[in-house]
Amino acid sequence: MNYKFESNNKEHFSLHDCLVTKAKLEDNKLTLYFPEGIFYSEYGDHWPNTSKAAVEYVVDYLDEVYIYVFKKVGKKKVVKEYNVEQLVKKINSNKWKLEFLYRYDGYKEIMHTVFVWLDKKPYSYEGQIFIGANSEKFRWNPPLESSD
């Protein structure tokens, strides 16, 4: 997909309430695709407010990208860890969609809290995705014009 704009300035973007339905892992780059867009502060306060978008993370070590999924088993919560290859496969096989909630930044690491959406019961899990990234690039197309 070609995008009209790109930026490395994370201060202007939010992925809160945005949904990933496709992912790609190639040449130590993880790309997450947001078909309904992401939030860009220059376009106003509505979420999401771009049209199709993607975020690309450049990672040195693939084992620094993983997701913890919190599953309820009986009365207990169990944490299951998935590596980046498993994450990409789950998303691209339509078994998972990721809805981003909150972002936390560390030194060369980003952690997002997410909902992992499923197409069967229990329909969702809570999760945390960790991305050890040297860089992060936001790509997007402008919002579609409203016909109102």
pLDDT tens digits along 99-137: 999 999 998 899 999 999 998 888 999 999 999 998 999
> Does the global pTM surpass 0.85?
yes
Lowest mean pLDDT segment, chosen from 41-45, 73-77, 89-93, 144-148: 144-148
Per-residue pLDDT, 48: 73
Strand-pairing partners, residue 73, are 76
Give how far the C-alpha of residue 58 lies from the chain's centroid of Cα atoms, to the nearest Å: 14
pLDDT tens, position by position, 2-61 = 999 999 999 999 999 999 999 999 999 999 999 999 999 888 777 678 899 999 999 999
Tokens describing residue 41: 């502060």
Q: What is the pLDDT of residue 134?
A: 86
User: What is the Cβ-side half-sphere exposure of residue 15, based on CA atoms within 13 angstroms?
Assistant: 29
